[in-house]
Chains A and B, each alone.
Chain A
């Protein structure tokens, strides 16, 4: 079993829909990161969480340390949100990644 599990693997939405991507992990962590990767490979760091909730524009990320679970929400989705979203957990020694969620938002 992978130490970092993401769901769903693929997600297709209509423009304007509310989107949720989930991440569960089984290891101890210092922080959890949400990353966005566009076609071509470039990765952008969206959030770093160690507790609670963060919001940036239409994106919201939450983490429940006790349940070892995090969610990334996108409100009012737009075609430009189409990308792969990757959950990554960091401890003192390394970083472990989920397999990613491929999001396609149709106009």
Chain B
């Protein structure tokens, strides 16, 4: 059961530019998370935003959440070649489930 959907599916930018990725989901949530996956590796947690939060920052990352539109965005500022990876949004479902439902991911390429 796919919950989150990232948009765009692929993005190619130059180093130093900002990258914005969007995620839409379908049902009510407790929180939404973003993960990064370098090629051929496991996923790494980046940031979590709770349903009662609208914006959160962590270093060069900024996440927003609009529960009325059931959407989130991840902004990476001043991108670096090392940010090249796939990015996934993941949502839980209300009711205390420990499970997450991941989107299909989007590929970010940062060109040096």
A and B, one complex?
Answer: no
B residues within 8 Å of A by Cβ? none
